[in-house]
Amino acid sequence: MYTNSIEEEKKLLKRLWTEQPVQCPRCGKAQLEFLHKKAKKSNCDWKCPACGEVYRTIRMLKELQE
Ligand SMILES: [Zn+2]
Protein backbone atom coordinates (compact mmCIF):
# COMPACT_ATOMS: atom_id res chain seq x y z
CA MET A 1 0.00 0.00 0.00
CA TYR A 2 1.05 3.55 -0.64
CA THR A 3 -1.12 5.21 1.97
CA ASN A 4 -1.76 4.60 5.65
CA SER A 5 -5.22 3.14 5.45
CA ILE A 6 -7.47 1.09 3.21
CA GLU A 7 -9.84 4.03 2.91
CA GLU A 8 -7.07 6.32 1.72
CA GLU A 9 -5.81 3.69 -0.69
CA LYS A 10 -9.30 3.32 -2.19
CA LYS A 11 -9.56 7.07 -2.62
CA LEU A 12 -6.18 7.11 -4.32
CA LEU A 13 -7.23 4.34 -6.71
CA LYS A 14 -10.46 6.10 -7.55
CA ARG A 15 -8.64 9.31 -8.39
CA LEU A 16 -6.16 7.49 -10.62
CA TRP A 17 -8.90 5.65 -12.49
CA THR A 18 -10.91 8.80 -13.04
CA GLU A 19 -7.69 10.58 -14.08
CA GLN A 20 -7.89 13.31 -11.50
CA PRO A 21 -4.68 15.06 -10.47
CA VAL A 22 -2.99 13.05 -7.73
CA GLN A 23 -0.14 14.27 -5.58
CA CYS A 24 2.45 11.55 -5.02
CA PRO A 25 1.64 9.98 -1.63
CA ARG A 26 5.27 8.94 -1.22
CA CYS A 27 7.14 12.21 -1.61
CA GLY A 28 4.35 14.78 -2.06
CA LYS A 29 6.54 16.75 -4.45
CA ALA A 30 4.83 16.19 -7.77
CA GLN A 31 1.68 15.03 -9.47
CA LEU A 32 1.59 11.55 -10.88
CA GLU A 33 1.91 11.08 -14.61
CA PHE A 34 1.05 8.23 -16.95
CA LEU A 35 3.77 5.63 -16.95
CA HIS A 36 3.24 5.08 -20.69
CA LYS A 37 2.86 8.63 -21.85
CA LYS A 38 3.78 8.09 -25.48
CA ALA A 39 2.30 4.65 -26.04
CA LYS A 40 -1.12 5.58 -24.68
CA LYS A 41 -1.58 1.90 -24.10
CA SER A 42 -3.18 2.14 -20.73
CA ASN A 43 -3.91 4.57 -17.98
CA CYS A 44 -3.58 1.87 -15.34
CA ASP A 45 0.00 2.62 -14.48
CA TRP A 46 1.26 5.89 -13.09
CA LYS A 47 4.63 7.27 -12.14
CA CYS A 48 5.90 10.08 -9.95
CA PRO A 49 8.29 12.29 -11.91
CA ALA A 50 9.96 13.46 -8.70
CA CYS A 51 10.78 10.26 -6.80
CA GLY A 52 10.24 7.70 -9.56
CA GLU A 53 7.72 5.64 -7.61
CA VAL A 54 5.53 3.57 -9.93
CA TYR A 55 1.87 3.04 -9.12
CA ARG A 56 0.20 0.05 -10.71
CA THR A 57 -3.50 0.26 -10.03
CA ILE A 58 -4.20 -3.39 -10.85
CA ARG A 59 -1.70 -4.48 -8.22
CA MET A 60 -3.03 -1.95 -5.72
CA LEU A 61 -6.54 -3.31 -6.19
CA LYS A 62 -5.34 -6.87 -5.65
CA GLU A 63 -3.61 -5.85 -2.44
CA LEU A 64 -6.82 -4.30 -1.18
CA GLN A 65 -8.75 -7.46 -1.86
CA GLU A 66 -6.37 -9.75 -0.04
ZN1 LIG B 1 6.96 10.92 -5.53
Report pLDDT digits (tens) over 21-57: 999 999 999 999 999 876 666 678 999 999 999 999 9
47 CA to middle of ligand 1, Å? 8
* Distance, CA of 26 to CA of 33 (rounded, Å): 14
Domain, as residue range, for 10: 6-65
**26 domain residue, yes or no:** yes
Is residue 1 situated within a structural domain?
no
State in Å: Cα 23 to ligand 1 middle.
8
Q: Is residue 17 part of a domain?
A: yes
Distance (angstroms) between ligand 1 centre and the Cα of 41 equals 22
The pLDDT of residue 44: 87
Residues with Cβ within 8 Å of residue 17, at least 6 apart in sequence: 43, 57
